[in-house]
Amino acid sequence: MKYYSTNRSVPEASLSEAVIKGLAPDRGLYMPAGINPLPQAFFRDMQRMTFQEISHAVAEAFFGEDVPAGELREIVYDALSFDTPVVPVTEDIYSLELFHGPTLAFKDVGARFMARMLRYFVSREGDGRPVTVLVATSGDTGSAVANGFLGVEGIDVVVLYPKGKVSEIQEKQFATLGRNITALEVDGTFDDCQRLVKAAFLDEELNGKFRLSSANSINVARFLPQAFYYFHAYAQLQRLGKAENVVFCVPSGNFGNLTAGLFARRMGLPVKRFIAANNRNDIFLEYLKTGEYAPRASVATLANAMDVGDPSNFARIYDLYGGSHEAVCREIGGYRYTDDEIREIMRETYRKTGYVLDPHGACGFGALRNGLQPGETGVFLETAHPAKFRDTVEAAIGAPVEMPERLRKFMEGDKRSIGVSSAFRDFKAFLLAREA
Ligand SMILES: *Cc1c(COP(=O)(O)O)cnc(C)c1O
């Protein structure tokens, strides 16, 4: 399979180039040149298959031309060794719980898959330079990527994060790991962290010594595997006899998760429509209403992983629909929620059903409560475990939130970050000194 850039001003890339580079050289996002539909038999048999079996079949459709069957099977089975169950919340609304991976958030799926695929390509095409993944994080991406790559042979990960600006839970999830994971505590902002990573990619000396890679969420090896759990959710609805008129509702920030659902639909998954749930960063909703895409600075909200003012995957959505606003609106609807509304949804849902939502899932559930039509079955993606936002959730529902064992373990670990200034020369000196 070839991968083209949404900006269409560079030649198509192979899968391995697209995975190692991440972003296309013209700053566009890579898209597969074709989308292979899955056979009818698959949709019939799916309800008897496990998450790994389903994912393997979907991965074959995406990557089967480029990765030998045995390798691909190993990547899938190794990366996706946890469940993504569908849990009823009301009679018509189900929660697709994507938080049963190592860092209790949906990004684990893509991060683990990408780590294993990158290891495969690097082992095949290595040139002696050590592979170093650089990742700037404002919190959640760093933990998913660090845990996804933890112990992956031949790949070092350097996580840059802004000092004092991530929560303790988030910091513990990437700064306590050790082994092939290094956490750099940058005396600056998240933007400084991103600037350092970008400068490293442009630095000749660093690129001569290391093979630098980014584990950005736009990477096709992180992005496409997010289609797997839409199939798995549908299979579970089939088993429940609820697979007619299925509507998926996705709490969205950079829109990678939702876009992966659009790919699932193009592969033949019978989804009726999608709903994008936003917090006050409602750039996409404004686009649906007006046809104008007008990015703006993000504002801080309770659902902070959705605080995005210029969603990177908008370029992919626009490309999938050939730029037609009308076509986008036929398949995707949208709602937005303020912090007060998010608290109200968490409180009411807990009171009426006993289900504990996290602030992101609350936007998803709220949008289904507002937008589901009679005869439809709604599934919202519950993207993080509520314990990751414990204080907010407990204050909203007025009850304690159980801390999963995995999260408690992270909290007991010792922080091992290395402090650096926000000057590029210090960051570069640090990287060069590591080699010895
Ligand atoms: C990253 C994230 C989102 C947003 O996902 P996108 O693919 O960027 O739209 C939503 N919820 C949680 C908990 C996240 O970590």
- Average pLDDT for 298-311: 92
* φ, ψ of residue 97 in degrees (nearest 5): -80, 110
Residue 93 lies in a domain: yes
Q: Which of 336, 383, 385, 407 to mutate to test the pocket of ligand 1 (most atoms within 8 A of CB)?
A: 383
Q: Which of 98, 135, 257 to mutate to test the pocket of ligand 1 (most atoms within 8 A of CB)?
A: 257
Cβ neighbors of 45 (< 8 A, separation 6 or more) are none
Q: How far apart are CA 72 and CA 60, in angstroms?
A: 8
pLDDT > 70: percent of the chain: 100
> 240: which 2 tokens?
């429940």
Say how many Å lie between the first and final Cα of the chain, rounded. 39
The atom of ligand 1 lying closest to the CA of 388 is 13
pLDDT tens digits, 310-337? 999 999 999 999 999 999 999 999 999 9
Range of the domain at 295: 83-104+223-402
- Average pLDDT for 67-92: 97
Strands 377-382 and 246-251, bridge-based pairing:
parallel
With 60 as the cut, is the pLDDT of residue 219 above it? yes
Q: At what angle do helices 190-202 and 424-434 cross, to 10 degrees?
A: 60
Handedness of CA 110, 112, 114, 117 (dihedral sign): negative
pLDDT tens digits, 121-152? 988 887 878 899 999 998 788 999 999 999 99
Q: How far apart are CA 150 and CA 156, in angstroms?
A: 9
How many domains in the chain? Answer: 1
Least confident residue range of 211-215, 258-262, 345-349, 407-411: 211-215
pLDDT tens digits, 408-436? 999 999 999 999 999 999 999 999 998 64
Q: How far apart are CA 267 and CA 55, in angstroms?
A: 13
pLDDT tens digits, 144-188? 999 999 999 889 999 999 999 888 888 999 999 999 999 999 999
The atom of ligand 1 lying closest to the CA of 255 is 9
Of 189, 186, 190, 205, nearest in space to 426 by CA? 186
The atom of ligand 1 lying closest to the CA of 226 is 7
The pLDDT value recorded for residue 216 is 79
Q: How far is the CA of 430 from the centre of ligand 1 (A)?
A: 31
- Average pLDDT for 90-107: 96
Residue 376 lies in a domain: yes
Residue 211 lies in a domain: no
Residue 374 lies in a domain: yes
Q: How far apart are CA 334 and CA 281, in angstroms?
A: 12
Q: How far is the CA of 252 from the centre of ligand 1 (A)?
A: 6
* φ, ψ of residue 419 in degrees (nearest 5): -85, 135
The pLDDT value recorded for residue 191 is 85
Q: How far is the CA of 209 from the centre of ligand 1 (A)?
A: 34
Q: Which of 96, 98, 100, 107 to mutate to test the pocket of ligand 1 (most atoms within 8 A of CB)?
A: 107
Q: How far is the CA of 407 from the centre of ligand 1 (A)?
A: 19
CATH of the domain at 340: 3.40.50.1100
Among protein residues, the one whose CA lies closest to atom 2 of ligand 1: 305
- Average pLDDT for 66-70: 97
Q: How far apart are CA 154 and CA 132, in angstroms?
A: 9
Cβ neighbors of 68 (< 8 A, separation 6 or more) are none
What is the band of 20 on the pLDDT scale with cuts at 50, 70, 90? confident
The pLDDT value recorded for residue 126 is 77
Cβ neighbors of 372 (< 8 A, separation 6 or more) are 92, 93, 247, 378
Residue 319 lies in a domain: yes
Residue 284 lies in a domain: yes
Mean model confidence pLDDT for the chain: 95
Residue entry with tokens 């802004």: 162
Among protein residues, the one whose CA lies closest to atom 1 of ligand 1: 305
Q: Residue 107 catalytic? A: yes
Q: How far apart are CA 285 and CA 341, in angstroms?
A: 17
Q: How far is the CA of 205 from the centre of ligand 1 (A)?
A: 35
Cite the beta strand spans of 163-218 per DSSP E: 181-186, 211-214
Lining ligand 1 with CB less than 6 A are 105, 107, 140, 251-257, 305-306, 360, 383-384
With 60 as the cut, is the pLDDT of residue 5 above it? yes
The atom of ligand 1 lying closest to the CA of 260 is 7
The atom of ligand 1 lying closest to the CA of 144 is 15
Cβ count near 366 (within 10 Å): 25
The pLDDT value recorded for residue 435 is 62
The pLDDT value recorded for residue 130 is 83
Q: Which of 174, 254, 312, 357 to mutate to test the pocket of ligand 1 (most atoms within 8 A of CB)?
A: 254
Strands 86-88 and 30-32, bridge-based pairing:
unpaired
21, 107, 163, 198: which is the annotated catalytic residue? 107
The pLDDT value recorded for residue 139 is 79
Q: What is the pTM of this model?
A: 0.95
Q: How far is the CA of 383 from the centre of ligand 1 (A)?
A: 7
The pLDDT value recorded for residue 262 is 98
The pLDDT value recorded for residue 179 is 94
Residue 355 lies in a domain: yes
Yes or no: say if 20 and 118 are a contact pair by the CB < 8 Å rule: yes
With 80 as the cut, is the pLDDT of residue 391 above it? yes
At 246 the three-state DSSP class reads strand
Q: How far is the CA of 250 from the centre of ligand 1 (A)?
A: 9
The atom of ligand 1 lying closest to the CA of 254 is 8
Helix (H) or strand (E) holding 156: strand 155-162
Residue 344 lies in a domain: yes
Residue entry with tokens 């606003």: 325
- Average pLDDT for 359-368: 98
